[in-house]
A = this chain, B = another copy of it.
């Protein structure tokens, strides 16, 4: 068996690689397991050095990487150059998060008359399987946010190459392994496998202790099932995405032209292939919002080329299914017809069409969006609540004093992992307060995030040491809890947060 990647612009083969055999998958996992103790015992500063070296290496290879990725994804050099920069910045960010030490969750309870001395420190889980996304070959790929946060937390990574950008993935792994070696770290902190069956074998491998995934619900749930059937069940952090809602308040209607332009810009960004794409816009009834959005789409006149043949086909069938589910086509612009082009479209539907099980509640991964009108607060609330859990939601009102803002934010916050006011949800900053993950089925673990400082927490578990002499603690725990606080980290001591 082998896997090939194709050029979306003309459908030609770009690269082909042998699929990794079952034995070879186990060998990669064993290699990762062999370096796991070293990774776990390395200091956060050491791992930061590794991540910085990888970041520097990908920047040094930016031109080459952009060229390969553009052939395989048709995302364009501008977008891809920015994404390489994001990838490098994310890797450095996770290194900074590691040395800050908050992810260790250090707590120290001195012995009392009624309780023993307890110290609690998060420790790395061990080798992590990473399945990157189709749509972000760099930011959410082999060296993306899952890999960066896993290595920062002290876990080796075995990544699966995405078939849509196979040579990009293989090259990224090569660059990272070389960079690791150059900086004195084991190459096997990161390795890569190829093939669908190899991916399934990877999740089933006993040595794998957690799984990070970004992609479709179908594949994410499949991997989750495999993990749940293991003898030792391990967590699958699947970021799958659903339909992200956006809301125009009654007062917001005064800005409808600007909002319509922004909505089109957001739902057609990257050919609509964003997990944070706003898929449905709730707007006050009878104000012609669907038409305004259609007008903006006509003006934008995107010519989307999809990442894969299957995605392009799904856009077309998705449009048909949405119409069959009660949506009306407000505008549908035909694609260029070259390669894996797709149509772009605005649809509208009555709010009561958002029924459980309706196709309108499922993501259409492409430059397609739905406008739904609401007549009352109650209708809006019920409409939002009829959606599946999702990653992000946006509200567009008049200004900070818009009387509808608080209520809409409140309702949305029960449904999603991130609520924005006045911003489109398609940008995801990699900072301390970010949350990229929403209620099932948007993610399999709504309490976790795949972007931002808290991403490290997915790959650790706490261990408490009771009455253990400091000298008998493992290296990380010893440093993290030592009285002199050598790593200068914030710690909880007898219940109080103490800054260094």
Contacts and interface: CB of A to CB of B under 8 A. Distances in A.
A190 B462 CA distance: 30
Contacts of A402: 472
A469 B405 CA distance: 9
B467 A447 contact: no
Interface stretch (A116-124, A155-163, A285-293, A347-355): A116-124
Contacts of A109: 429, 431-434
Contacts of A482: none
Interface string A414-453: 0011111111000101011111000111001111010011
A179 interface: no
Given A419-B465, A474-B410, A232 B389 contact: yes
Contacts of A499: 496-499
A155 to B, nearest CB: 13
Nearest to A106: B433
B432 A473 contact: no
Contacts of A100: 495
A409 B435 CA distance: 35
A403 to B, nearest CB: 10
A300 interface: no
Interface in A263-293: none
A463 interface: yes
Given A419-B463, A473-B409, A232 B440 contact: yes
Contact of A418 (B431, B447, B452, B464): B464
Interface in A449-482: 449, 452-454, 457, 460-469, 471-474, 477
Q: How large is the interface on A (under 10, 10 to 19, 20 to 34, 35 or more residues)?
A: 35 or more
Contacts of A405: 468-469, 472
B472 A406 contact: yes
B232 A433 contact: no
B463 A447 contact: no
Contacts of A471: 400-401, 406
Most buried by B among A100, A234, A474: A474
Contacts of A453: 107, 495
A449 B468 contact: no
B461 A119 contact: no
A38 interface: no
A233 interface: yes
Contacts of A454: 105, 120, 462
Interface string A96-137: 100010100101110000111011100100000000000000
A228 interface: yes
A19 B379 CA distance: 38
Contacts of A233: 440-441, 444
A381 interface: no
B107 A433 contact: yes
A142 to B, nearest CB: 24
A235 interface: yes
A386 interface: no
A483 B447 CA distance: 26
Contacts of A410: 474
A358 interface: no
A434 B118 contact: yes
A452 B105 CA distance: 13
Given A406-B474, A435-B463, 18 more contacts: A107-B433, A107-B453, A109-B429, A120-B435, A120-B454, A232-B439, A413-B477, A417-B462, A418-B464, A418-B466, A419-B463, A419-B464, A419-B465, A421-B465, A421-B467, A421-B468, A433-B492, A434-B464
Interface of A: 96, 100, 102, 105, 107-109, 114-116, 118-120, 123, 228, 232-235, 389, 400-402, 405-406, 409-410, 413, 416-423, 427, 429, 431-435, 439-441, 444-447, 449, 452-454, 457, 460-469, 471-474, 477, 490, 492, 494-499
16 contacts: A105-B454, A107-B433, A109-B429, A232-B389, A233-B440, A233-B441, A406-B472, A418-B464, A419-B463, A420-B465, A421-B465, A421-B467, A423-B467, A447-B462, A454-B462, A499-B499
